[in-house]
Chains A and B, each alone.
Chain A
Amino acid sequence: MRRRIASAATCLAFFVLLRGESCGQPVLQDPTFRLWCGDELCAWKTEAGSVRKAPTWHDADTGVEFVGVPARIVQNTPSNAQCLRFTSVADVSPSAQMILSIDWDLDGTPDYTYPVPSVSFRQVQADFILPPHEGMRVVLEKKGPGNAVLAEIRLQLLSASECASAPAPLPRTKLPLGARASSGAECASRQVLAATCSECNPVVPEIACGPGVACTTRGVAGLSVGFALCDRKGARAAGQPCGIDADCQSGQCKGVRSVGMRDVPTERATEEGDKVVHDYQLCTPGAGAPAGCVPKVFVAGTCQ
Chain B
Amino acid sequence: MTTGRGALADDATLATTPHPRAYAVIVGANQGGQGQEALRYAEDDAVRFAAVLRELGQHEAPDLRVLLHPSGRDVVAAIDDVAQKLRAHKERGEQAVFYFYYSGHARAAALNLGAEEVSVALLRERLSQLPSTLSLVVLDACQSGAYARAKGAEPAADFSFNSVAKLTTQGAAVMASSSAQELSQESDELRSSYFTHHLLVGLRGAGDADGDGRVTLDEAYRYAYRRTLAATARTQVGSQHVTLQMDLAGRGDVTLTYPSLSRAKLALPAALQGQVLVTRKGSGAIAAEVQKVAGNKLLLALPAGSYEAVVREPDAQRALVCAAPLQDDATYTLDTGTCTSVKDTPTKKKGDESELDHWAAEVGVGINFNSQGEYTDRLREFGYDNKPGAFDLDTPPLRVSLGASRAFNKYFRTGVVLHTLTRDQYRRTFGASKDEFRYSSYGADLYFRGDIFLVEPVLSLYALAGVGLGMAPSTYTTTVSGAARDTSSVDWGPLLSGAGGVSVNVRNAAFRLQGGYEYAPVLKNRLGDVLNVGGPSVMFAVELRTDR
Chain A bound to chain B: yes
Judge whether B381 and A123 touch: CB under 8 Å.
yes
Q: Which A78-93 residues have C-beta < 8 A from chain B?
A: 89
A31 CA to B428 CA, complexed, in Å: 12
Q: Is the CB of B378 within 8 A of A57?
A: yes
On chain A, the residues within 8 Å of B430 by CB distance are 26, 31-32, 34, 154
Q: Is A58 within 8 A of B381, CB to CB? A: no
Inter-subunit contact B529/A57 (CB<8 Å): yes
Q: Which residues from chain A contact B433 at a C-beta distance below 8 Å?
A: 30, 32, 34
What is the bound-complex CA distance between A204 and B121, given in angstroms? 127
Chain B CB within 8 A of A15 CB: no
Tell me, in angstroms, the Cα distance from A56 to B437 when the chains sit together.
14
B530 CB to nearest chain A CB (Å): 12
Inter-chain CA distance A272–B383, complex, in Å, is 21
Asked if B357 is at the interface of the complex by the 8 Å CB criterion, the answer is: no
Q: A26-B431, A31-B430, A32-B433 are in contact. Are A61 and B478 (CB under 8 A)?
A: yes
Give the interface centre of A31, A60, A121 by most chain B CB atoms within 10 Å: A60
Binary contact readout A22-63 vs B (1 if CB under 8 angstroms, 0 otherwise): 000010011110110000000000000000000111111100
B483, A272: Cβ atoms under 8 Å? Answer: yes
User: Is the CB–CB distance between B527 and A57 below 8 Å?
Assistant: yes
Report the minimum CB–CB distance from A105 to chain B (whole Å): 27
Asked if B526 and A59 sit within 8 Å, CB to CB, the answer is: yes
Q: Would you call A151 an interface residue if the criterion is a C-beta within 8 Å of the partner chain's C-beta atoms?
A: yes
Question: Does A268 reach chain B (CB closer than 8 Å)?
Answer: no
B313 within 8 A of A: no
The answer to whether A58 touches B437, judged by C-beta atoms less than 8 angstroms apart, is yes
A89 to B379, CA, bound (A): 11
Q: Please indicate the chain B residues that have their CB under 8 angstroms from the CB of A32 in the complex.
A: 383, 430, 433, 435
Q: Are A57 and B483 in contact (CB under 8 A)?
A: no
Please count how many residues in chain B sit with their CB below 8 Å of the partner chain's CB atoms.
22
Interface residues of A in 93-129 (CB under 8 A from B): 120-123
The CA-CA distance from A32 to B437 in the complex, in Å, is 16
B487 on interface, CB distance cutoff 8 Å: yes
1/0 per residue A147-184: CB within 8 Å of B? 00001101000000000000000000000000000000
A252 at the interface (CB under 8 A from B): no
In chain B, residues 418-463, which have Cβ atoms closer than 8 Å to a Cβ of chain A? 430-431, 433, 435, 437
Residues of A within 8 A of B381 (CB): 89, 121-123
Cα(A27)–Cα(B381), bound, Å: 19
Which residue of A55, A59, A61 contacts B382 across the interface (Cβ within 8 Å)?
A: A61
B2 contacts which chain A residues (CB < 8 A)? none
Tell me the complex Cα distance, A57–B374, Å: 12
Query: Can you list 13 pairs linking A and B with CB atoms under 8 Å apart?
Result: A31-B430, A32-B433, A34-B430, A34-B433, A55-B526, A57-B526, A57-B527, A59-B489, A60-B476, A89-B382, A154-B430, A272-B483, A275-B480
Q: Which residues of B approach A to under 8 Å, CB–CB? A: 378-379, 381-383, 430-431, 433, 435, 437, 476, 478, 480-481, 483, 485, 487, 489, 525-527, 529
Nearest 8 pairs of A and B residues by beta carbon: A60-B487, A123-B381, A272-B483, A272-B480, A60-B476, A57-B525, A34-B433, A32-B430
Give 16 A-B pairs besides A57-B379, A60-B476 with Cβ atoms closer than 8 angstroms: A29-B431, A30-B433, A32-B430, A34-B433, A57-B526, A57-B527, A58-B526, A60-B478, A60-B487, A61-B435, A121-B527, A122-B381, A123-B381, A151-B382, A275-B480, A275-B481
